[in-house]
Amino acid sequence: MNVQTNIPLSTLTTMKIGGNANYVADVTSKDELQQLYQNSKKLNQPVYVIGGGSNLIAHDEGFPGLIIHNKIGSITITDDNPTATTIVAGAGEIWDDLVKYTVDLELSGIEAMSGIPGTVGAAPVQNIGAYGQELADTFVSCEAYDTTTDTFVTLTWEDCKFSYRHSIFRGEATGRYIITSVTMSFNKTKPEPPFYDALDKYLTAKHIDPTTVTVQIIRDAVLDIRMNKLPDPRVLPNAGSFFKNAIVEKWKADDLLNTYSDMPTYPVDDQHTKIPAGWLIETCNLKGEVIHGMKVHDGNAVVLVNDAATGYADLAAAREQIIDTVRDKFQIVLEQEPLELTLIVQA
């Protein structure tokens, strides 16, 4: 394996900020991963594991240890029957490559998550989701290196404690596990309406009969929607959705609807409602604004683009100003979605 020194974190993350990492190494196998981690532990140096760097914010001071770039690949069908197919994907696989693979096989489960940047290993960390689907819907288990016991373990759906954009990997078990592969189960039935609101509107505008929709149609629709709403991080540096959608108590949403009748809402359960963070930010007249060098994206206010930020301090200042503005107007506190590069997680 090749270990590089003094590598700018701005080259490893899609937000394009951050100082240097002391060491960076690619790993393509579980043995390499375990060996590198054990060596770093013996040297008493911190370790951080990344995938695509698309949901990760680096700091100006850099990282005083080893960055492990997880590139453990492979996609394998482990079970196939008339109604479902089980697939194991390596943590280093590009997420959208896996989506395309399943869609090509006419399997349903993650087609609405087309175009999400990052790797398979990062997906369970924040329980990624889009347009009515989330990883937890297809997740069966994952294999991970347990840094506490120095063993490889299998974690079930129940073990991971998934919730909205959350799991044990960014909760109580932050830093303990390094995901090496993910097992998912996909069904062979066609997508059926009702579809997520944005998808439904798209299909209607394109005069597509909802009863004829296939996984390929859903994938094409999502990619088209994303192309018009979300900036390509290869062109405009960003970390995707920067704020989580707000989950509030139902009475709070109902109260706001009395004032903002056009506010989009989505039921979570009997007591909670989801309000899009982008709508909250846009309603504060921040869409398109440049704040401390970070631009609130013109097409989707939940995305922050690194327009002219010189470092993490600019990003932090912009984040706090947006959070304060939304809180003052709606009494809702937005939460950051991307992870901070401080502990052992995958991003």
126-164 pLDDT per residue, tens? 999 999 999 999 999 999 999 999 999 999 999 999 999
Closest CA to 86 of 119, 70, 109: 109
- Confidence tier at 342 by pLDDT (50, 70, 90): confident
Q: What is the pLDDT of residue 230?
A: 87
In which residue ranges of the chain is CATH 3.90.78.10 found? 238-340
Q: What is the pLDDT of residue 347?
A: 46
Mean pLDDT of 84-101: 98
- In the predicted model, is pLDDT for residue 68 greater than 50? yes
DSSP 8-state assignment for residue 119: B
In which residue ranges of the chain is CATH 3.30.43.10 found? 3-70
Local structure of 39: helix, strand or coil: helix
Provide the strand spans (E) within 242-329: 246-249, 266-267, 272-275, 290-291, 294-296, 303-306
Q: What is the pLDDT of residue 99?
A: 98
Q: Are strands 47-50 and 272-275 parallel, antiparallel or unpaired?
A: unpaired
Q: What is the pLDDT of residue 143?
A: 98
Which two tokens mark 294? 């970070």
Q: What is the pLDDT of residue 234?
A: 87
Backbone φ, ψ for residue 155 (5° rounding): -110, 125
Q: What is the pLDDT of residue 332?
A: 98
Q: What residues form DSSP beta bridges with 339?
A: 56
Distance, in Å, from the CA atom of 42 to the CA atom of 336, rounded to the nearest integer, reads: 34
Distance, in Å, from the CA atom of 44 to the CA atom of 166, rounded to the nearest integer, reads: 29
Distance, in Å, from the CA atom of 250 to the CA atom of 329, rounded to the nearest integer, reads: 18
pTM of the model: 0.91
Q: Does the annotation count 335 as an active-site position? A: no
Closest CA to 145 of 57, 65, 40: 40
In which residue ranges of the chain is CATH 3.30.465.10 found? 75-187
- Confidence tier at 344 by pLDDT (50, 70, 90): low
> What's the CATH code, domain 75-187?
3.30.465.10
Kindly name the residue from 54, 93, 114, 165 that is annotated as catalytic.
Answer: 165
62: alpha, beta or left, given left = phi > 0 and alpha = psi -120 to 50? left
- In the predicted model, is pLDDT for residue 40 greater than 60? yes
Mean pLDDT of 296-315: 96
Q: Does the annotation count 108 as an active-site position? A: no
Q: Does the annotation count 165 as an active-site position? A: yes
Kindly name the residue from 93, 134, 143, 337 that is annotated as catalytic.
Answer: 337
Tell which CATH architecture fits domain 3-70.
2-Layer Sandwich (3.30)
> What's the CATH code, domain 238-340?
3.90.78.10
- In the predicted model, is pLDDT for residue 1 greater than 80? no
Task: Give, in order, the Cα–Cα distances in Å from 276 to each of 48, 253, 283.
Answer: 31, 11, 11
Task: Give, in order, the Cα–Cα distances in Å from 290 to each of 146, 293, 322.
Answer: 42, 6, 11
**Type and span of the H or E element at 49:** strand 47-50
Kindly name the residue from 54, 108, 141, 241 that is annotated as catalytic.
Answer: 241
- In the predicted model, is pLDDT for residue 172 greater than 80? yes
Average model confidence (pLDDT) across the chain: 95
